[in-house]
Structures are given as C-alpha cells and as structure tokens.
Amino acid sequence: MKLNILALLTALLLIPQSAQPAFALWGPDKSVGEEGKLKGHKHEIFSLAFSHDGKKLASGSFDGTTRIWDSSTWQILHELAGHGNWVSAVAFSPDGRFLVSAGIDRRIQIWDAETGANLFTSQEHAKGVLSLAYSPDGKWLASGGLEGKILIYNTQTWQVQKTLVPSANNPGGVGALAFSPDGLWLASASYDDPVIRLWNPETGQAGPLLSDHIKEVYALSFSPNGQYLASAGEDRIIRLWDMGKRTVVSRLAGHFEPVWSLAFDPAGDFLASGSMGDRSLRFWTVPQGVNSQSLSEIPQKTYALAYHPKQKLLASGHSDALLRLWRNTSPEAAQAVAGQSGATLARLLAPAIEVAGLSVDDDRNGLSSGNANYSAEAGELVEITLHLRNSGNAPAQGLEAMIQLAPAGLVYQGEAPRFRLENWPMGSEQTLVLPVFIPKNLQEPVSLEIELRADNGPRIWKETLKLELGKAYPPLTAALEKGNPP
C-alpha cells in the first residue's frame, strides 16, 4: 500500500514532542543509558565502527583506548589500551574476526574482536595514522597517514603491498578513506587539498579526480549500493556524487561550521552529517538532498557517526566523551519521506514562521518613571518585543526579518529594524527587541509591518500588528516556555 505522506505528516504534527522538533524521524534511544548516552571513555570519542553483523560497536578516543561494546546489552566487552596517544580510526574486518585501530602514535593495532587479544602491531607510517578502510572482500586494509601517504596492507600477512602518494607537491595528511562497496575504487581525501582522488586498489594506479569542493575535504562515505559518494569538509557544503557519471547530483547546505563526519543509513535513503562546531546533527534525503531533520543542542563537535547495519540505530561520538545512540522513532514516516521527489520534500519539509505575539517593556533605563505597566505611553522610550515561532517541519536557514514602523514620527533607537538568524530549529521560539521612542503628541496606534523570509522557505511571510497606546502587553515568557501560543 502506498503511504500517504500528507496524512503521515499531519499525524506526526499532532503528537506532543516538548523537546523534539515538530517532525522527528530520529531521537535519543531512551532504552539505553541516560537518554541514549553511554559512559566509558574519559575524553572525546573520535572514531566509531559497527561490526558487519551489528553485534559489536568499536569506539576510539582521545584517551588512547579503544572499546568494544556489546550492542545487545551495551556493556563494554573489551577495553583495549594499545596506543600512546588518541585513537584516530577503527575498522572491523568484513568477517568480524578482527578489529583494527590506528593512532597518532603511528601505530596500527590488529585485535582479535572476540577475545580482545592483540595480534599484530605495525608502525610503517612516518607520522601519525589518520584514517582506515577495509576492502569489502577483506583482502586489503588501507591506512592514511599524517605524512600524506596511503599504505595498502595485505591482510593475510599484514605487510605493506602498495604505497600511494596523493600529492607529492602538497603532502597533506590523508584524513579520509573509503572503499566502494564493489571494491573497485578506493576514495581518498587529504588536508590542504579540495580534490577527492580515486584509486585502483589492486594495481595502485590513480584513477579519476572528483573536483567541486573549494576547500579541504574531511569526510567520505559510499552509499550501500555504491551509486553515490558523499563528501564534506571545510567549505561546509556536502556533495553527493553520482559514481556512474562522477558528477555532483546534490549540494547539501545547512551546517554553519566545517563538516567532519558522514554516514549513510543501511538502506541508502538517508545521509547523516555532523560538524565541528554548530552543535547539530543533520539528516538528508538521498539523492534529493533535503534536510529532513536536524538535532540541535548536542555537543559542539561531532567527530564520528556509524549506522547499525541491521537496525534503525545511529551511534555518534562527540567532544564530551559520551557515546550517543539515536533510534528511528518513525520508520513509516522515514519510508514515506524517502520515496518522495525533491520538489515534494522541499514543500513539505519546510519552515513555517508565525508571529506568536508581542510584549512591551516600558521601564527601559528607568524612563517610565517606575510605573512598569507594560504599556506604551506617549513620550516614553519602550522596548517592543516580537515573539516568533518556527512551527514548520524544518529549521529555518538564513531567516531575515524586516520591520517597518508607522506612523511617521516614531524614533527607532536600534541600529536598524532588520534582523538575520542563521539557524532556527523547528519547534523553537525567537524574540526580536525593538527600542522605540513614542512622541508626546502621538495618539494613534503603533503599526508594525513584519516581513519574514528564509533561505530555505517556500514563501515570504507578512503580517501587520497594531500596538494600542495605554494597553497592557505583559511578558509572554511563561506561555512560550510551555510551547503554547499566547
């Protein structure tokens, strides 16, 4: 039966979600730990990887340890202390027998994933190791070093078979590696290099270059079917590449800081992304590139993301040393969203700005002679506060508010009655404060003409409010905190 996305969205919007956005596909897995948070590491969690059967999750941290978690109980199975500095990358072998960890101490450690025993240590890189990737058949392990080289190991002997040099003239550290699901390509990205490079892992020959970024690339991820490659970095715009044509099919704009982590869900319908400073975790439809949901107020830096291969579960590692688990709360809605066209999604998953009300502070700088009756009187300097709410199904990006005051004679005391908000989460409120002097001879109501537009909004919102002199407009804080319109 074909799902009706309009009915689904309507139903979701009627569900009370005090701390969740109006349209939520993902939320904290409250069955785990404290609101989906697991404690164990002492410092930032920099790398994550699920085993291919989903039974184990590995995490590497700035504390120099690697932990293996049982994903059915979320107990720590092994704490592996084999690095003298932070663990930059972890990767399970496709058959689940081995876990490989890499660190800034130049070491690559091979562990028995079942017993936690250390099986082999390599220090072939001249500087610290930044990235790891296993080939799908388990034959090769690729590692990227801070000295700017890629080493490909034979996993039967753990000997280096090939050394790849992305750029001899500009040897930036190789921060990201990813094998295509068919094993035909190894993609790499290096610091100080906006180009993504493809390699033939069997021969070590350089393949095509993917050029569209304007700054260095930090993250790479192939979709499960290999049709798409996602890339992101310093320029904050995520690219989605069609690997058949090797062209960009979507550019995903929304993060306000460099994007450090990417992960496709097992079905390949969604892409998750995390940044190095904007405190948001974002979900995008594939290939349309629509920001279907944003989780805000997470730790400042999102270093690592990993989807469970068999469940609707996402793990994330951040700058606060807590491992977070996110559960898909609306699988039917996710299926409905994934099946829509980009135009439909852009229309349905959009911000909707409403004016929730206004209030007046007439005691600004004590100029009301202490009456504080929350009303605007002739001859007073007052603060008129507009209360706005994003009641839509997407964050408002690049929201601009332009306000015109009437009648003539009103004196605006601010810099300009024009405001810009770079990111406004769905379901949240904002206030705009307007300091205005009311002339002594003014008798007619004050008129505020409000025009709102967002970079990702389908329309412009316009509204006119009247403020009557002498009428009380008390604070709206209590009503807004409860999420109710005044």
Residues 468 and 338 in one domain: no
Asked if residue 189 lies in contact with residue 175, where contact means CB atoms within 8 angstroms, the answer is yes
Residues 312 and 450 in one domain: no
Asked if residue 133 lies in contact with residue 142, where contact means CB atoms within 8 angstroms, the answer is yes
Which is more confident, 51 or 405? Answer: 51
Residues 307 and 388 in one domain: no
Q: Of the given ranges (49-53, 108-112, 270-274, 287-291), which has the lowest mean pLDDT?
A: 287-291
The answer as to whether 197 is a domain residue is: yes
With b for 16 or more beta-carbon neighbours within 10 A and e for fewer, the 14-47 pattern comes to eeeeeebbbbbbbbbbeebbeebebebbeebbbb
Q: Of the given ranges (169-178, 312-321, 329-338), which has the lowest mean pLDDT?
A: 329-338
- Note the pLDDT of residue 95: 96
Asked if residue 446 lies in contact with residue 36, where contact means CB atoms within 8 angstroms, the answer is no
Residue 279's nearest CA partner among 292, 296, 262 is 296
- Please state, as a whole number, how many other Cβ atoms lie within 10 Å of the Cβ of residue 391: 17
- Note the pLDDT of residue 385: 87
Which is more confident, 367 or 283? Answer: 283
Query: Quick check: 426 pLDDT over 60?
Result: yes
pLDDT tens profile 114-124: 999 999 999 99
Its domain, for residue 107, covers 5-348
- Note the pLDDT of residue 217: 97
Residues 288 and 420 in one domain: no
Query: Quick check: 32 pLDDT over 50?
Result: yes
- Note the pLDDT of residue 344: 63
Which is more confident, 336 or 13? Answer: 336
The SS3 of residue 332 is: helix
**Res. 347 pLDDT band, cuts 50 70 90:** low
In this structure, the dihedral spanned by the alpha carbons of residues 248, 249, 255 and 260, taken in order and rounded to 10 degrees, is: -50
What does pLDDT average to over the chain?
84
Beta partners for 378?
none
- Note the pLDDT of residue 90: 98
The SS3 of residue 45 is: strand
The answer as to whether 45 is a domain residue is: yes
- Note the pLDDT of residue 57: 98
- Note the pLDDT of residue 161: 95
Count of domains for the chain? 2
- Note the pLDDT of residue 345: 62
Q: Of the given ranges (207-216, 252-261, 407-416), which has the lowest mean pLDDT?
A: 407-416
Residues 339 and 469 in one domain: no
Beta partners for 230?
221, 240
Whole-angstrom distance between the N-terminal and C-terminal Cα of the chain?
Answer: 41
The answer as to whether 202 is a domain residue is: yes
Query: Quick check: 9 pLDDT over 50?
Result: no
- Please state, as a whole number, how many other Cβ atoms lie within 10 Å of the Cβ of residue 182: 12
Question: Which of 326-335, 365-374, 439-448 holds the top average pLDDT?
Answer: 439-448
Instruction: Look up residue 434 and give its amino acid.
Output: L
Residues 262 and 360 in one domain: no
**Res. 293 pLDDT band, cuts 50 70 90:** confident
Burial class (CB in 10 A: 0-12, 13-18, 19+), 161: middle
As a whole number, mean pLDDT of residues 290-307 equals 87
- Note the pLDDT of residue 376: 86
- Please state, as a whole number, how many other Cβ atoms lie within 10 Å of the Cβ of residue 279: 18
Beta partners for 150?
144, 164
The answer as to whether 486 is a domain residue is: no
At 451, which CATH number? 2.60.40.10
Which is more confident, 319 or 20? Answer: 319
Residues 319 and 429 in one domain: no
Residues 155 and 289 in one domain: yes
At 251, which CATH number? 2.130.10.10
DSSP code of residue 333: H
Residues 221 and 238 in one domain: yes
Residues 154 and 68 in one domain: yes
Query: Quick check: 256 pLDDT over 90?
Result: no
At which of 348, 374, 407 does a domain end? 348
Beta partners for 23?
none
At which of 348, 383, 418 does a domain end? 348
- Note the pLDDT of residue 315: 97
Rounded alpha-carbon distances, angstroms, from residue 333 to 4, 13, 314: 9, 12, 17
- Note the pLDDT of residue 6: 40
At which of 300, 332, 348 does a domain end? 348
**Res. 337 pLDDT band, cuts 50 70 90:** low
Residues 359 and 321 in one domain: no
d(CA 332, CA 338): 10
The answer as to whether 374 is a domain residue is: yes
Residues 107 and 169 in one domain: yes
- Note the pLDDT of residue 230: 98
**Res. 387 pLDDT band, cuts 50 70 90:** confident
Angle between helical axes of 5-13 and 331-338 (0-180°, round to 10): 140
Query: Quick check: 186 pLDDT over 90?
Result: yes
Q: Which two tokens stand for residue 440?
A: 């002594």
**Res. 263 pLDDT band, cuts 50 70 90:** very high
As a whole number, mean pLDDT of residues 195-221 equals 96
The answer as to whether 144 is a domain residue is: yes
d(CA 271, CA 249): 14
